[in-house]
Amino acid sequence: MSLYLFAGFVSCLVHFLLIIPFINFLYKLKFQRATQKTKDAFNKPTPIFDKFHQHKQGTPVGGGILIIVLTTLLFCYFLLFFTFINKPLSTSYPSVLAEIKILLFSFISFALLGIYDDLSKIFFWKKNGFFGLRMRAKLILEVILALIIAYWLYSDLKIDIIYVPFLGLFQPGVFYIVFAAFVIVAFANAVNITDGLDGLASGVLMIAITAFWIVARTIIDVPTSIFIAIWLGGLVAFLYFNIYPARIFLGDTGALSFGATFAVVGLILGKVFALPIIGGIFVIEIASSLVQLLSKRFLKRKIMPVSPIHLLLQRNGWEEPKIVMRFWILSIVFSLFGLMIAFMK
């Protein structure tokens, strides 16, 4: 246990040492939130969002880049360190290298997709749809990446079952690939949607992956335990500068990467049923946006005045820190309940 805590502490310390110079570097690059008005999925103005978030213009966007780079480097370092001190990289799966490959590919590939969106928004590249990429094109790329990851989960790690408490095991066979890809894409977008208030997505994610770290340690999955510990250390340091009023934002780079990887961690740990519970805030956020999107598409009207739900609460008069703190508390409750479900036989 102390080795994992040491890895998390080192990660937190390294992130703390580098994040201020990194923020200053982003200012020099002018890698900041754009000053133009935002648009929704249908390329229409979002005046309510702009009303509450205009004051954040100019804040650096790119916190996810720092966390992804440092977490990847530190993960590789601690894997070598564990090997050097003869600490077995225990796992329940046939290949440790395959598990490491899946974690890193999920973390990095979705980050590369997100960084294109960030660059598009910041430097005003030609926009034909939803924040740079057309919404359909962006979704297709997400699905392709998710299918690759899901296939590796199925073929390399031999994961092809879904455990549901009280009902037992279900073995969908090759259809597990489709199911896993759906889960990955859903959470990638859910975290991206949640990342709308200072400290909201990063705080909820920190709580949720702590729950999965407990699961990983319980089943003695060493590679995933190391990865989560280092990731947590980075999130703690980032959250210090991301709470209201934020000095730096995750950006799509971090949000897409972290959402996809969060889902992959849940799939690797075999806790699919607990995943939407532990990540309950993300599920609520994407559900509120999906309902609004479908109502505009098929009913030609809005069901809610605005979405996602955190923006609706802002419109109703809730202060930003109040929303974030209460969502953190709800996330703790969801995580505790999710852990109870995860350990049920």
Could you give the CA distance from residue 157 to residue 96 in angstroms, rounded to a whole number?
Answer: 9
CB neighbours of 196 closer than 8 A, spacing ≥ 6? Answer: 49, 308, 310, 311
- The structure tokens 């290298």 sit at 97
**pLDDT tens column, 7-51:** 999 999 999 999 999 999 999 988 886 655 565 544 455 666 667
Residues 6+ apart with CB under 8 A from 141: 113, 133
Residue 237 has pLDDT above 70, yes or no: yes
Q: Report the pLDDT value the prediction gives residue 298, as an integer from 0 to 100.
A: 81
**Cβ pair 271, 262 in contact under 8 A:** no
Q: Which of 118-122, 144-148, 169-173 has the lowest mean pLDDT?
A: 118-122
Q: What is the DSSP string of 6-52?
A: HHHHHHHHHHHHHHHHHHHHHHHHT-B--SSPPB-TTS-B-HHHHHH
Which residues are bridge partners to 249 per DSSP?
Answer: 61
pLDDT at site 44: 55
Mean pLDDT on 256-274: 96
Range from 34-48, 210-224, 237-251, 331-345 carrying the lowest mean pLDDT: 34-48
Categorize the per-residue pLDDT at 166 as very low, low, confident or very high, splitting at 50, 70 and 90.
confident
Write out 193-246 in H/E/C secondary structure.
HHCCCCCHHHHHHHHHHHHHHHHHHHCCCHHHHHHHHHHHHHHHHHHHHHCCCC
Given a cut of 70, is residue 131 above it in pLDDT? no
Residue 130 pLDDT exceeds 50: no
The answer to which of 26-30, 36-40, 103-107, 214-218 has the lowest mean pLDDT is: 36-40
Residue 182 has pLDDT above 80, yes or no: yes
Best CA proximity match to 192, nearest among 254, 128, 149, 249? 254
Question: What 3-state class would DSSP assign to 169?
Answer: strand
Question: Are 103 and 261 within 8 A, CB to CB?
Answer: yes
Contact 259, 190 (CB under 8 A): yes
CA max distance for the chain: 62
How many domains in the chain? Answer: 1
Is-cis flag, bond preceding 245, omega within 30? yes
pLDDT of residue 167: 77
Q: What is the mean pLDDT of residues 243-260?
A: 95
Give me the residues paired with residue 163 across strands: 169
Neighbour-count burial for 34-65, b at 16+ CB within 10 Å, e otherwise: beeeeebeeeeeeeebeeebeeeeebbbbbbb
Cβ partners under 8 Å of residue 3, min gap 6: 82, 87
Q: Determine the distance from the C-alpha atom of residue 268 to the mean position of all C-alpha atoms in its chain, rounded to a whole number.
A: 16
Q: Residue 151 belongs to what H/E stretch?
A: helix 135-155
The domain of 73 spans: 2-342
Top pLDDT among 266 and 138 is at 266
Report yes or no: 154 and 160 within 8 Å, Cβ to Cβ: yes
Residue 270 has φ and ψ, to the nearest 5°, of 75, 25
Can you give the three-state secondary structure of 88-128, one letter per residue?
A: CCCCCCCCHHHHHHHHHHHHHHHHHHHHHHHHHHHHCCCCC
Cα→Cα distances 250→64, 233, 254, 316, Å: 5, 15, 5, 26
Average pLDDT over residues 263-286: 96
Buried b (16+ CB within 10 A) or exposed e, 217-228: beeebbbbbbbb
Look at residue 5 and give its three-state secondary structure. Answer: helix
Supply the pTM of this predicted model: 0.93
Residues 6+ apart with CB under 8 A from 258: 64, 191, 201, 205, 250
| Residue-wise pLDDT tens digits, 72-87 | 999 999 999 999 998 8
- Is the distance from CB of 194 to CB of 200 less than 8 angstroms? yes
To the nearest whole number, what is the mean pLDDT of the chain? Answer: 90
Tens-place pLDDT, residues 296-325: 888 778 888 888 999 999 999 999 999 999
Say which residues have a Cβ less than 8 Å from residue 127's Cβ, sequence separation at least 6: 120
pLDDT of residue 152: 97
So what's the pLDDT on residue 263? 98
